Amino acid sequence: MTNAPTRKTVVFSHGKESGPWGIKITRLARVAEELGFAVISIDYRGVYDPLERVRMLLDHSPKEEGITVLAGSSMGGAVSLAAAAGIGPAGLFLMAPAIGIPGYPDLPPLPDALPTVIVHGWDDDIVPPGPVIDYARKHRLELEMLADGHLLEKSLDLLEHRFRFFLERVTP
Residues 6+ apart with CB under 8 A from 66: 6, 7, 8, 9
Kindly state whether residue 88 falls inside one of the protein's structural domains: yes
Kindly report whether the global pTM for this prediction surpasses the value 0.85.
Answer: yes
Q: What is the count of structural domains for the chain?
A: 1
Task: List the CATH number of the domain containing 103.
Answer: 3.40.50.1820
Kindly state whether residue 3 falls inside one of the protein's structural domains: no
Share of the chain above pLDDT 70, in %: 95
* Domain span at 96: 8-170
Kindly state whether residue 110 falls inside one of the protein's structural domains: yes
The model's pLDDT over 13-26, given as tens digits with 9 standing for 90+, comes to 999 989 999 999 99
Confidence class for position 1, pLDDT limits 50, 70, 90 = very low
Q: What is the mean pLDDT of residues 149-169?
A: 97
Residues 6+ apart with CB under 8 A from 27: 156, 159, 160
Kindly state whether residue 154 falls inside one of the protein's structural domains: yes
The model's pLDDT over 65-106, given as tens digits with 9 standing for 90+, comes to 899 999 999 999 999 999 998 999 999 999 999 999 888 877
